[in-house]
């Protein structure tokens, strides 16, 4: 099953790398969010915001010294979600044009079609994440890593993002296998995107949310991953309580993955069985 999964994800990745529409749109999206949105929204730009009031804002934004430092993990999370809408289309098209049927007449386990999709979507989303991270470092007034940000911090950030892309990929691959048309797939993705993005701490911190929305915002996987990554970016060396905060986020993401793998496998099994 592993070799089939790798063969199938390899197919998609090869196609993706050779297409001019793989990396360029990601770079553009990252620039739009970070350079245009990130720089404009910077609380430090507001007139009169200086000294004490800026300090309060900085505290509200989890200690980030500028807005892009706060925003970057959130944008990575949001772009992972938007990315799924593009990536999922491939499956829907494969289904419509008969490719999935051709796969189904070969002796591969049905689950490898699902896991092949999950894997390639994770890889693509991670490429997007790395690009976004790099763009954030080079834009003016961009991402500032805390002093003491070392290889462990980087690995931790990477872990949080891999887990978030896995959360999305396990869910959306299942949905895209089950979707009968591209329209139905886009409808689902669009229905999920804004609520998921705006109930997360991707763009602004938890303290900004009204109290009824706070529990939802806290449980949102984008919040879990971006908060976990943010702690490592803003604080170079973590205190014990910060480490446990990070650990709780990771456990939360893990729980999502387990649930979505089960859900995605069921969706895929149902969609791939003999008619």
Partner 1 sequence: MVDQVSFDVAEGELFGFLGPNGAGKTTTIRMLTTLTSVSSGRAIVAGHDVSKDPGIVRTVIGVVPQQLIADDELLGIENVLLFAKLHHVPDEKARKRAAELMKLVDLEASAGKKVKTYSGGMKRRLQLAMGLVHDPRLLFLDEPSLGLDIQTRSKMWEYVRKLNDEHGITVFMTTHYLEEADDLCDRVAIVDSGVIKVSGSPKELKMKLGGDLLSIQVSDGPDLTHFFEGVPDVTEVLKLNRSSYRIKIPRVEKALPEIVDGVVQRGLKISDISFTRPTLDQVFLQMTGRQIRDGESEPATSIPVLMEEA
Q: Which residues bind partner 1 (CB under 8 A)?
A: 3-4, 7-8, 11, 14-15, 18-19, 97-99, 101-108, 274-275
Cβ proximity to partner 1: between 94 and 249 the closer is 94
Cβ proximity to partner 1: between 2 and 151 the closer is 2
Closest distance of CB 126 from partner 1, Å: 21
Q: CB burial class (10 A; 0-12, 13-18, 19+) of residue 123? A: middle
Closest distance of CB 268 from partner 1, Å: 16
Cβ proximity to partner 1: between 104 and 180 the closer is 104
Closest distance of CB 102 from partner 1, Å: 5
Instruction: Give whole-number Cα distances, 144 to 76, 120, 132, 184, 208, in Å.
Output: 15, 30, 14, 41, 23
Cβ proximity to partner 1: between 106 and 211 the closer is 106
Please tell me what DSSP assigns to residue 19. Answer: S
Closest distance of CB 143 from partner 1, Å: 34
Cα–Cα dist 69/144, whole Å: 6
Instruction: Give whole-number Cα distances, 31 to 23, 59, 68, 134, in Å.
Output: 13, 26, 11, 10
Query: Within 10 Å of residue 161's Cβ, how many Cβ atoms?
Result: 26
Tokens of 247: 């650990």
């Amino acid at each position: 099953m592993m070799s089939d999964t790798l063969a199938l994800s390899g197919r998609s990745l090869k196609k993706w790398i050779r297409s001019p529409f793989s990396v360029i749109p990601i770079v553009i999206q990252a620039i739009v969010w970070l350079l245009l949105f990130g720089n404009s929204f910077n609380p430090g730009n507001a007139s009169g915001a200086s000294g004490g009031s800026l300090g309060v804002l900085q505290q509200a934004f989890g200690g980030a010294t500028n807005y892009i430092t706060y925003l970057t993990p959130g944008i990575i999370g949001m772009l992972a979600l938007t990315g799924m809408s593009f990536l999922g289309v491939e499956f829907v098209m494969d289904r419509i044009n008969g490719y999935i049927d051709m796969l189904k007449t070969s002796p591969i386990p049905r689950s490898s079609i699902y896991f092949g999709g999950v894997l390639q979507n994770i890889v693509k989303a991670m490429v997007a994440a790395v690009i976004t991270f790099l763009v954030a470092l080079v834009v003016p007034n961009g991402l500032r890593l805390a002093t003491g940000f070392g290889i462990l911090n980087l690995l931790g950030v990477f872990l949080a993002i891999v887990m978030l892309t896995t959360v999305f990929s396990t869910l959306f691959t299942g949905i895209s296998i089950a979707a009968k048309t591209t329209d139905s797939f886009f409808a689902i993705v669009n229905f999920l995107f804004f609520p998921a993005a705006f109930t997360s701490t991707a763009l602004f911190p938890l303290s900004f949310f009204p109290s009824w929305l706070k529990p939802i915002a806290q449980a949102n996987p984008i919040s879990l991953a971006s908060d976990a990554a943010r702690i490592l970016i803003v604080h170079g060396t973590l205190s014990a309580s910060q480490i446990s905060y990070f650990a709780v986020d990771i456990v939360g993401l893990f729980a999502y993955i387990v649930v979505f793998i089960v859900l995605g496998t069921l969706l895929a099994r149902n969609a791939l069985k003999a008619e």
